[in-house]
């Protein structure tokens, strides 16, 4: 223990010595610092004294002269008066703009003044007028503020001149509620009391018109029936009500001249009528197919039936067309188009396709619209060849035909592609391409690029794959765009001989539902007309591929045809030649103009009614069996 204490004392002594050494070093450092500061102060004083001695030696006039910080060699230029005004103007303008922005942000907003004439135009555009249920050229759109004015408005129109034997449509706008007058309000305005239950059975898109007959006006009211159940019983009750109270026409009360309604027929349509006066003033009505019709004379009743019959024929004519359209949704404009033309199909292009959900919704809405307007399903067609022509770009299966090597691969591709299209609501694929093509030909990249025998087998297998997915096929382009290096949609191609077609015959073993033709002049068949316009060409197709396949044109809206034929010729000649369906994309010309050209030609007898009826019947029968 004593040794440990001794070691501890030695250690403390050593630490104390170390600490004292540190303190001495610090003191020496402080002492040295003070010495350096003292030397520096003495040196500064010496320098100052030396400077004062030098100043004393300088002459007084030089010594008193102020020292220049910087020098200016020229006098500063004073701005001109015009420049000053310009600068001040800019400053004022910026200030005014600043005040304007403040006012726009914080000042209370007021509705801008719109002149009455412009207001009327704006309101007119907002109120949709449905397509007339019969063809009527002239329409009046009077405006009312309340329903009590309906009777007065109708009475005024009945005093106006209407060409003998023609209709004048009346669509009354309620400008206060920004809508057309309802069927119920109209009935009350005409003085015709209708059972309340009947309004639930009738569609509100009605057509009201006046018919000029023997210098008198007759009332015509047409509507579609949306619910048939119980309608006959309601109409019987309505007859009893009319017999008891009579009717009002042009603000005049007319009692019945007969004790009951009578039955009659016109063109196999059963109608009922009640004689109101001896001057052909009757209350005639009929409920047939999907129509409810009321007129105030037998002659006007017959005229409407004739027009409906004509309209029904026009409605069926729409089945001859697969058309393009604008947009990715069903718009009011598209609905009006379907009401008027009732097309048999639509062609989906890239401009109509955005996403899976959007395309499903679009196709579902299109089918519902077609069923509502025509009672028939649509062909919903797309060019989904694979490779560079894949309209539905987001699909997984987009294998190009040039990459397909075996029939097994072709079948699986057709099946997988077909299933994907079916899921989206598409039912017709405009593929595969079976043209006999060589390197350098326009369609080379889109072809199978195999010997002719293999093309037929691959095409057959791909079609079979699509059929297992319940997808319709339009193989193309018979007899082919072979030996054509330029774009045949821009320049009309003319070739000497018919290309090889054995591959099409082989593919027919898979029973494709449609075959698409080419827009080429084959001099061997017809030296003057493209294949699609030539009766000899279409007969050649039927002789080689059979009579059961539906024949569909390639898109007719091509510069190669537009530059050589009128629009009417382009839509009339294919049907006259024996084609069943025409595709018109509307890419370059208006679809509406093409359809109107066809309807106009049909009405004046420039198209064979037999040709039209044969094609329409074939399409309708096909849809009933396959869609």
State the Cα–Cα distance between residues 202 and 221, nearest whole angstrom.
Answer: 12
Query: How would you class 569 by CB atoms within 10 Å of its CB: exposed for 0-12, middle for 13-18, buried for 19 or more?
Result: middle
Task: Please indicate, yes or no, whether residues 343 and 237 belong to a single structural domain of this protein.
Answer: no
Q: Which of 254, 279, 301 is the last residue of a domain?
A: 301
- In which order are the strands placed within the sheet that holds 207-213? 138-140, 167-170, 207-213, 216-224, 291-295, 281-288, 269-277, 262-266
Q: For residues 552 and 585, what is the distance between their CA atoms, to the nearest angstrom?
A: 13
Measured CA angle at 274 (ends 271, 276), to 5 deg: 145
Shared domain check, 290 and 319:
no
Token pair in block for residue 212: 């000029």
Identify whether residues 407 and 378 lie together within a single domain: yes
97 in a structural domain: no
279 with 326, same domain: the answer is: no
Whether 324 and 282 share a structural domain:
no
Distance CA 142, CA 135 (A): 20
Distance separating alpha carbons of residues 623 and 375, to the nearest angstrom: 11
Measured torsion, CA atoms of residues 412, 413, 418, 419, in degrees rounded to the nearest 10: 60
User: For the chain, what is the total number of helices (H) and then of strands (E)?
Assistant: 18, 25
| Alpha-carbon distance values, 59 to 54, 66, 69 (Å) | 11, 14, 22
Task: Specify the length of the chain in residues.
Answer: 627
Tell me how far apart the alpha carbons of residues 526 and 441 are, in angstroms, rounded to a whole number. Answer: 22
Query: How confident is the model at residue 137, as a pLDDT?
Result: 83
* 440/567 same-domain check: yes
Q: How many CB atoms lie within 10 A of CB 92?
A: 10
Q: What angle do CA 425, 418, 423 make, to 5 degrees?
A: 30
Alpha carbons 155 and 297: distance in angstroms, whole number: 17
Whichever domain contains 335, its CATH number is 3.20.20.300
Parallel/antiparallel/unpaired status of strands 167-170 and 138-140: parallel
Q: Looking at 272, 301, 330, which one is the last position of a domain?
A: 301
Task: Please report the sign of the dihedral spanned by the C-alpha atoms of residue 458, residue 464, residue 470, residue 474.
Answer: positive
Domain count within the chain: 2
Is the same domain home to 173 and 296? yes
In a domain, 615, yes or no: yes
pLDDT of residue 256: 75
Identify whether 139 is part of a domain.
Answer: yes
Q: Do 221 and 191 touch, CB atoms closer than 8 A?
A: no
Residue 174: strand pairing partners: 144, 179
Q: Which of 230, 197, 211 is nearest to 167 (CA)?
A: 211
Task: Please check whether residues 284 and 380 belong to one and the same domain.
Answer: no
Tokens of 315: 């409605």
Residues 245 and 357 in one domain: no
In a domain, 81, yes or no: no
**330 and 418 share a domain?**
yes
Q: Which domain holds residue 172?
A: 116-301
CA–CA separation, 81 vs 90, rounded Å? 14
Which regions of the chain are under pLDDT 70?
Answer: 1-126, 190-192, 247-252, 278-280
Q: Looking at the structure, do residues 443 and 411 belong to the same domain, yes or no?
A: yes
Domain boundary among 301, 324, 353: 301
Is 336 inside any structural domain? yes
Residue among 223, 222, 276, 285 at smallest CA distance from 249: 276
SS3 600: helix
Task: Identify whether residues 353 and 209 lie together within a single domain.
Answer: no
pTM of the model: 0.66
Residue 449, CB half-sphere, CA atoms under 13 Å: how many? Answer: 14
How many angstroms separate the CA atoms of 385 and 397, rounded?
A: 10
Which of 363, 371, 364, 373 shows the shortest CA–CA distance to 341? 373
Determine, yes or no, domain membership for 79: no
Per DSSP, the three-state class of 386 is strand
pLDDT attached to residue 194: 77
Q: Residue 104 and residue 102: Cα distance in Å, rounded?
A: 6
- Residue 6 within any structural domain of the chain: no
Nearest alpha-carbon partner for 346 in 363, 358, 359: 363
d(CA 571, CA 607): 10
Render pLDDT for 526-553 as a digit per residue (tens, 0 to 9): 999 999 999 999 999 999 999 999 999 9
Residues 36-80 have pLDDT tens digits of 666 666 666 666 665 555 545 544 444 444 433 333 334 444 455
Residue 191: the pLDDT is: 66
Within 10 A of 173 (CB to CB), how many other CB atoms are there? Answer: 20
| Residue whose C-alpha is closest to residue 484's, from 451, 542, 438, 552 | 438
For residue 460, give both structure tokens.
Answer: 């057959």
Query: Does residue 404 lie within any of the structural domains?
Result: yes
């Amino acid at each position: 223990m004593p040794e440990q204490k001794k070691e501890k004392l030695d250690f403390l002594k050593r630490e104390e010595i170390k600490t004292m050494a540190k303190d001495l070093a610090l003191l020496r450092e402080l002492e040295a610092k003070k010495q350096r500061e003292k030397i520096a102060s003495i040196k500064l004083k010496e320098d100052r004294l030396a400077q004062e001695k030098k100043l004393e030696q300088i002459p007084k006039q030089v010594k008193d002269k102020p020292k220049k910080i910087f020098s200016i060699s020229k006098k500063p230029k004073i701005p001109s008066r015009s420049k000053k005004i310009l600068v001040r103007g800019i400053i004022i303008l910026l200030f005014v703009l600043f005040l304007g922005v403040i006012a726009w942000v914080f000042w209370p907003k007021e509705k801008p003044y719109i002149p009455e004439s412009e207001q009327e135009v704006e309101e007119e555009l907002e109120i949709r007028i449905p397509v007339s249920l019969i063809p009527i050229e002239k329409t009046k759109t009077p405006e009312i503020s309340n329903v009590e004015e309906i009777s007065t408005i109708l009475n005024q129109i009945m005093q106006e001149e209407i060409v003998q034997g023609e209709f004048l449509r009346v669509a009354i706008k309620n400008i206060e509620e920004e809508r057309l007058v309802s069927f119920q309000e109209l009935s009350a305005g005409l003085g015709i009391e209708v059972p309340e239950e009947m309004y639930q059975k009738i569609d509100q898109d009605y057509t009201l018109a006046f018919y000029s007959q023997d210098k008198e006006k007759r009332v015509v009211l047409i509507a579609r029936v949306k619910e048939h159940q119980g309608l006959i019983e309601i109409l019987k009750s309505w007859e009893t009500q009319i017999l008891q109270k009579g009717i009002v026409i042009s603000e005049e009360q007319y009692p019945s001249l007969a004790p009951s309604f009578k039955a009659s027929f016109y063109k196999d349509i059963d109608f009922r009528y009640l004689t109101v006066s001896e001057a052909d003033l009757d209350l005639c009505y009929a409920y047939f197919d999907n129509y409810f019709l009321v007129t105030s004379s037998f002659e006007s009743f017959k005229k409407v039936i004739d027009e409906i019959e004509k309209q029904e024929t026009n409605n069926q004519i729409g089945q001859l067309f697969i058309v393009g359209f604008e947009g990715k949704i069903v718009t009011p404009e598209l609905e009006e188009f379907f009401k008027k033309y009732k097309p048999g199909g639509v062609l989906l292009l890239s401009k109509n396709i955005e996403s899976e959900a959007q395309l499903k919704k679009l196709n579902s809405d299109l089918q519902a619209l077609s069923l509502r307007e025509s009672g028939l399903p649509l062909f919903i067609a797309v060019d989904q060849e694979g490779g560079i022509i894949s309209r539905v770009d987001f699909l997984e299966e987009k294998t190009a035909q040039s990459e397909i090597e075996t029939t097994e691969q072709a079948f699986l591709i057709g099946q997988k592609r077909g299933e994907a299209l079916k899921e989206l609501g598409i039912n017709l694929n405009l593929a595969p391409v079976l043209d006999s093509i060589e390197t350098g030909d326009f369609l080379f990249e889109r072809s199978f690029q195999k010997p002719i025998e293999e093309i037929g087998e691959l095409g057959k297998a791909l079609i079979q794959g699509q059929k297992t997915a319940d997808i319709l096929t339009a193989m193309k382009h018979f007899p082919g765009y072979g030996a054509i290096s330029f774009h045949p949609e821009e320049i009309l191609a003319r070739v000497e001989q018919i290309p090889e077609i054995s591959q099409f015959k082989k593919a027919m073993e898979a029973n494709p539902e449609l075959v698409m033709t080419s827009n080429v002049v084959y001099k061997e068949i017809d030296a003057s007309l493209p294949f699609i316009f030539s009766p000899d060409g279409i007969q050649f197709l039927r002789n080689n591929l059979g009579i059961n396949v539906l024949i569909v044109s390639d898109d007719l809206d091509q510069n190669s045809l537009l530059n050589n034929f009128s629009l009417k010729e382009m839509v009339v000649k294919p049907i006259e030649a024996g084609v069943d369906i025409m595709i018109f994309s509307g890419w370059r010309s208006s679809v509406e103009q093409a359809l109107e050209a066809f309807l106009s030609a049909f009405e004046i007898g420039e198209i064979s009614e037999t040709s039209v009826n044969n094609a329409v019947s074939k399409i309708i029968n096909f849809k009933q069996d396959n869609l």
